[in-house]
Amino acid sequence: MSRHRGKLMFLGGLIAALAVGWLGLPIVLYETIDQPLQFSHATHTGDLLGMDCEACHTFDEAGRFCGVPGIALCATCHEEALGDSPAEQHLVEAFIHPNLEIPWLVYARQPDNVFFPHAAHTVLAEISCERCHGPHGHSDRLRPYQRNRISGYSRDIWGSNIAGIASAPWDGMKMGDCSRCHRQRGIVESCQDCHK
């Protein structure tokens, strides 16, 4: 009887230790950094303003994706505060009046040696923004940026689960995640396509 209890206690301890490692590891593994400004996509893309993604996320003449818009675009509407939210106050006082760019932390940003052409995906292949970025374009607040202390990668690239089990199609964008979709769609790829 007591031998059984010993085994049970051992098992219980083992499970508890695993649980602490499993749940605690991501907390230790990831450095958490707040965005420089609270921005709500929902305010701009929702019913109030109904702006298209393309109003802020454009391509230049050469077909290069312009990424996150600069402060000049924000200033077309926010030269002075339109409402009384603290976030907008911060925008106007800390960035628009001194004419400073906002140092956004880009969740999806790949290492410098990776080449990712947006137009091939969104224009030619007509893949939705949601497929790779989830509901970000309609989110009402910015979650903190999480950087893996060992690999230096953003958690959005590494994947939310440390065992690599994806919870959604956009969860994780490592090399294997790019290639899996290319394979599914019959795209022939070579190293130089993505590493220039």
Cβ 79 to ligand HEC shortest distance, Å: 10
Closest to 154 (Cα-Cα) out of 173, 170, 128: 173
Say if CB 78 and CB 156 are below 8 A apart. no
Cβ 171 to ligand HEC shortest distance, Å: 12
Taken as a whole, the chain contains a residue count of 196
- Interface residue list for ligand HEC (CB under 6 A): 39-41, 43-45, 49, 51, 53, 55-57, 67-69, 73-74, 76-78, 82-83, 85, 87-88, 91, 104, 106-111, 114-118, 120-122, 124-125, 127, 129, 131-133, 136-137, 142, 157, 173-175, 178-179, 181-182, 185, 187, 189, 191, 193-195
Closest residue to ligand HEC, judged by C-beta, is 83
Residue closer to ligand HEC by CB (options 19, 161) is: 161
Cβ 119 to ligand HEC shortest distance, Å: 9
User: What are the CA-CA distances from residue 74 to residues 55, 69, 136 (Å)?
Assistant: 11, 8, 19
Residue closer to ligand HEC by CB (options 29, 181) is: 181
User: What are the CA-CA distances from residue 23 to residues 28, 30, 35, 134, 170 (Å)?
Assistant: 10, 12, 24, 23, 21
User: What are the CA-CA distances from residue 104 to residues 7, 8, 17, 178, 191 (Å)?
Assistant: 52, 50, 37, 24, 30
Residue closer to ligand HEC by CB (options 7, 182) is: 182
Residue closer to ligand HEC by CB (options 29, 73) is: 73
The C-alpha atoms of residue 157 and residue 3 are separated, in whole angstroms, by: 47
